[in-house]
Amino acid sequence: MEAILKVENLSISFGSNEVLKNLNFELNKNEVLGIIGPNGAGKTVLLNILSGTLSPTGGRIYYKGEDITKKTIVERTLMGFGRTFQVPRSFENMTAYENALVGAAFGSDIAEKDALEISENILDIIGLKNQKLDFARKLGLLDRKRLEIGIALASRPDLLLLDEVAGGLTESELVDVLEIVRNVKEAGVSVIWIEHVLQTMLEGTDRVLLLAEGRDVISGLPRDVMNSKEVEEIYLGID
């Protein structure tokens, strides 16, 4: 399979605290890679590095064969990166439609007319078409999560970074998130999905990577990884 993203010996330290330690993995084109691990494993730090928020102290990141290790957030966005956050960062006093429009207009180099059309399409994909005129601050948690994904998708990314978008949702609401991710993949977008909700990793990913103490411990098919001794000991705390 063709790799859209390749991470080689990625490391980052904050003073004497080494958070990521020679991390290596690949993301294939049109693949959903789930990343799990205990608190403090370095998962969100990894997303911050991939999106360009943080600069690594060692290693390289290749996107579509190009070394992007020193690229800025803006450069990576225009190259095809989209990213969500654990706590939704929508514009509270703007409607769902206006939020999507901001993502479309400023996340990619397109004409205003195209941005308007993309925003409408995104709201349909994330299931907010009927709430497009609702202010973000009035949306419930599930819809705020939907909108967070929608803003990231509005820039038309080839690579989407999801940071715990299922957190705080009920079991029935998880079904909606899984459906959105499936639709995203069907549209040809590759996804890296960090999550603590194991149901999403089992049902919504093609492959799972276990991260612990800043290292890649094991990766493989979701059920194989979840049933592994490493996950039991490191993530679930089972002796």
Residues 111 and 221 in one domain: no
**4 with 58, same domain?**
yes
**Residues near 66 by beta carbon (within 8 Å), at least 6 away in sequence:** none
- Interval 88-113 mean pLDDT: 84
Residues 4-19, mean pLDDT to the nearest whole number: 94
- Which of 155, 181, 208 is at the close of a domain? 155
Contact 191, 28 (CB under 8 A): no
Residue-wise pLDDT for 120-158, tens only, equals 888 998 999 999 999 999 999 999 999 999 999 988 999
Segment (H or E) for 215: strand 215-220
Residue 137 structural domain: 88-155
Please indicate, yes or no, whether residues 239 and 161 belong to a single structural domain of this protein: yes
State the CATH number of the domain containing residue 220.
3.40.50.300
Residues 132 and 185 in one domain: no
My answer on whether 165 and 181 are in the same domain is yes
Q: Judge if 162 and 239 occupy the same domain.
A: yes
Count how many domains the chain has: 2
**In this predicted model, what pLDDT tens digit does every residue of 39-86 receive, in sequence order?**
889 999 999 999 999 999 999 999 999 999 999 999 999 899 999 988
Global confidence as pTM:
0.92
> Cα–Cα distance between 48 and 116 in angstroms, integer?
29
| Final residue belonging to a domain, choices 155, 177, 200 | 155
